[in-house]
Structure formats: C-alpha cells, structure tokens
Amino acid sequence: MKKLKNILKRKKERIDLKYIGLTYTPGLSQHIDKCIENHNIMIGHKPYNYCKQFFTTLRPRVKHENKTHCIYKFNCQDCGACYIGNTEQYLHERIYQHDYYVRSNKKSTALAKHSIEHASCI
C-alpha cells in the first residue's frame, strides 16, 4: 500500500511539472538548473550543434535550368493559354529549342505553333 501511495505521489508531481528545452551551455546550464529546481520546472538540455547541420548539403544544389527529366509550363501572356511539356534534356536546352522554333517560324511544337499563329509572346 505504501508503494502505491509513492507511485501516485510521483504521478501527481509529474503532472504539475513544466518542461522547457534549452540549449546546453557549460557552466550556465548547471547554474540555471540549481536556480529553478524548486519551481516545478524541468529543463531538457539540447546540444547547440546537430549532426544534420553539417550534412544537409552533401552536394551542391542544381539550378532549375540545369535539371533533366522534368516537367515545365509556359503561360501565354496574351490569351492565358498554357503549354505544359516534359523533357529528358537539360531544361535550358529545351527552352532554347522552343525559342529557336518560334524565331525560325517552324511549327514543330504546339508552343511554337501557338506563338506563330497568334503572334503572341510565351
């Protein structure tokens, strides 16, 4: 019976506790712990440096125009139509091809055809 009372007492004490997470600073963290130990506050110390901070960029980011195997979208500035395409090439090369077809009046793609027929800028 005595053991049960101790368990219930501990549970009640835990419910009244407030938990705070603070960055660990040697010397200061121990001093803060001593100052607030009688105020029903528990501090969880966490390290300043996390491993993921050092390993988040394992390789350099690729610019959008240098991506391959992607889906892209062009909006017509005049009529609101849009062209959605996908490519396995570098995106900047595919954009250049679309631009070349429009400049040379080749209706090779739906984008070039729309741009030539409606004299619109996509």
Total domain count for the chain? 2
Model pTM above 0.75: no
Q: How far apart are CA 74 and CA 24, in angstroms?
A: 51
Residue pointed to by tokens 């005049």: 78
Q: Is residue 122 part of a domain?
A: no
Q: Is residue 23 part of a domain?
A: yes
1: CB partners within 8 A, 6+ apart: none
Q: Could you report the per-residue pLDDT of 61-105, keeping only the tens digit for each?
A: 788 888 889 999 988 888 888 899 999 999 999 999 999 998 888
Q: Is residue 113 part of a domain?
A: yes
Q: How far is CA 63 from CA 3, 26, 60, 110, 121, in A?
A: 65, 42, 9, 26, 24
Q: How far is CA 11 from CA 36, 45, 59, in A?
A: 20, 22, 49
Q: Which of the two residues, 90 and 7, has the higher pLDDT score? A: 90
Indicate whether 42 and 73 sit together in one domain.
no
Q: Is residue 80 part of a domain?
A: yes
Q: Could you report the per-residue pLDDT of 46-62, keeping only the tens digit for each?
A: 777 666 666 666 677 78
Pick from 94, 114, 90: nearest CA to 102: 114
E-strand ranges in the chain read 18-23, 41-46, 70-75, 82-87
Q: Is residue 81 part of a domain?
A: yes
Indicate whether 69 and 113 sit together in one domain.
yes
Indicate whether 68 and 45 sit together in one domain.
no
Q: How far apart are CA 15 and CA 17, in angstroms?
A: 6
Range of the domain at 72: 64-117
